[in-house]
Amino acid sequence: MKLNYKRTILVGFAFFLISAFWQAYDAIVPLILTNHFGLPQTASGAVMSIDNVLAVFMLPIFGAISDKLCAKRLGRRTPFILIGTIAAVASFIFLAFVDTIQFNALIDAGIHDRYSAAQALLDNAKDALKAAKAAGDNVAMEIANKTIEAVNAQVDAIRADVIEMTLQNIWPLVSFIGVLLLVLVSMATFRSPAVALMPDVTVKPLRSKGNAIINLMGTAGGILVLVLGKAFQTSKLSMQYIGYVFAVVAIMLTGLIIFMITVKEKKWAAEMEEDSVRLGLEGSSVTGEGADDRKLSRGEFSSLILILASVALWYIGYNSITSKYSVYATNILGFDFNITLIVAQAAAIVSYIPVGIIASKVGRRKTILAGIIMLTSAFFIGNFITSSSPELIMYPVFILAGMGWATINVNSFPMVVELARGGDVGKYTGYYYTASMAAQIVAPILSGFLYDIFGMRIMFFAFGTLFVALSFVTMFFVKHGDSKPLQKKSALESLDVDD
């Protein structure tokens, strides 16, 4: 029994294009809301949570619908991926045009020029700070830090004028949020079907390795968009994003084309079912007729609830960092967020396959607990990094965070679908995303509220540290969801180290 890596990579192109979109969304939408519309952190956090509110309801529904429906040629999941991606791409382009209208209004009001002047002062102050650090000149470092603080106060004053302008003409903001809803609904229609496709074509004992490949593909999409962000300089205080959005859309459509040409969902799912029957695996049938009717035991149900609680807790902590890191790095630390996130994604890429292999040896639960410790440690260290710190110091912190998140992410979803019968994989995928998305509703609103009260500098990493640490407690008591490796049946099979 060996994972078909080529097949899993091709299936992973669906997650590749999904991750490319969300990387772009998390990078530019908070900056648009705070800098182009002047929204405070709490209001910005509320808007950023809309996708999660929709996902709580839509992901389980569309996951369950895709379990039941089956197109004659394309299968159960592929039609959702095709139609959903096309709708998301069209509405994302429209969103960029709506933002361009607001951006032009900022130019007409002279606000873009004020942002540009502040950006130049901020860049000069950061350059002076780097030079002072290299020279060991404490006096120059103090002057540069005070300049950065003064420029940040100036930027806050500019945003106050922007929100006043927004309130005088609310329709650009209303239009932006309306189109944003179309984008998010489109993305929500196919996320569960796309993720459920991997277990559909992969036998149970290999799903951690399969999920590692899927996450590897998603991370590749995210890194590609981060590189685009660096090229388009998306960390500026004020800029036009239309060119960047077109480039992201091109990546998404490329992923879709490769997926549609190469993936044979119905054929591969039928082959997986045959393999599962031959190997005597419980609950692996993916068809309605052949699916078993096994119910969860009390212990399995308790483990499912604890796994979902763990998912919610670490997503609250993790999403509070990722959804606002572009704002924190740009406005508080004065760092370029693109490079830092590229480093984290690269660390995750290196970790995915080894983590899948380790989990097959020591178990998913123990591997996840180790990942929680790594992620908690990374966020805890982040509390002590300030604008005076060398920007390079953020790289090892995010390397550790990327490794920790990869360790958690590779194994958590397979633990949930391990408890599903084959015909309910889409529904259990929906459960997983209900927990994660509900958590991401709470994360930006609660963290944004605390940022406004206590300051983003104090609460940013502290909030993430606390909630990720709490997930260790709930995961510690999970008893079910680990894979059950098959015994080798021959000397030749025992030589296959890729099982």
The domains found in the chain, sorted by start residue, are 5-279+293-481 (1.20.1250.20)
- The pTM score is 0.77
One pLDDT digit (tens) per residue for the chain, 499 residues = 688 989 999 999 999 999 999 999 988 998 999 999 999 877 887 888 788 788 888 888 888 888 887 767 888 899 999 999 999 999 999 999 999 999 999 999 999 999 999 999 988 988 888 788 778 788 888 888 888 889 889 988 999 999 999 999 999 999 999 999 999 999 999 988 998 899 889 887 788 788 889 988 988 898 899 889 989 988 888 899 999 999 999 999 999 999 999 999 999 988 888 887 787 665 545 544 444 455 778 888 899 999 999 999 999 999 888 878 877 887 788 777 777 877 887 888 888 888 878 887 888 899 999 999 999 999 999 999 887 787 788 889 999 999 999 899 888 888 888 887 656 777 888 889 889 888 878 887 788 888 888 888 889 999 999 999 999 999 999 988 776 554 544 333 333 333 3
Angle at 55 between CA 50 and CA 37, to 5 degrees: 15
Alpha-helical regions (H) of 323-363 = 325-328, 337-362
360: its two tokens: 């097959």
* CB distance 263 to 10 below 8 Å: yes
d(CA 140, CA 134) in angstroms, rounded, equals 11
DSSP 401-425: HHHHHHHHHHHHHHHHHHTS-GGGH
d(CA 479, CA 369) in angstroms, rounded, equals 13
Q: For residue 207, which amino acid is it?
A: R
Q: Cβ neighbours of residue 457 under 8 Å, at least 6 residues apart?
A: 332, 386
Task: Indicate the SS3 state at residue 71.
Answer: strand
285: its two tokens: 């049938």
Torsion over CA of 85, 43, 27 and 211, rounded to 10 degrees? -60
d(CA 71, CA 75) in angstroms, rounded, equals 5
50: its two tokens: 């809309």
Closest CA to 92 of 153, 167, 179: 179
Instruction: Count CB-CB contacts under 10 A for residue 6.
Output: 10
d(CA 36, CA 245) in angstroms, rounded, equals 16
Q: Residue 31: which H helix or E strand, with range?
A: helix 13-31
71: its two tokens: 């197109």
d(CA 328, CA 374) in angstroms, rounded, equals 22
Question: In the chain, pLDDT over 70 holds for what percent of residues?
Answer: 93
Closest CA to 129 of 333, 339, 326, 381: 333
Q: Largest Cα–Cα distance of the chain, in whole Å?
A: 77
DSSP 37-72: S---HHHHHHHHTHHHHHHHHHHHHHHHHHHH--BT
475: its two tokens: 């995961």
Q: What is the DSSP letter of 393?
A: G
> In 185-217, which positions are buried (b, 16+ CB within 10 angstroms) versus exposed (e)?
bbbbbbbbbbbbbbbbbbbbbbbbbbbbbbbbb
| Tens-place pLDDT, residues 117-149 | 999 998 898 888 878 877 878 888 888 888 888
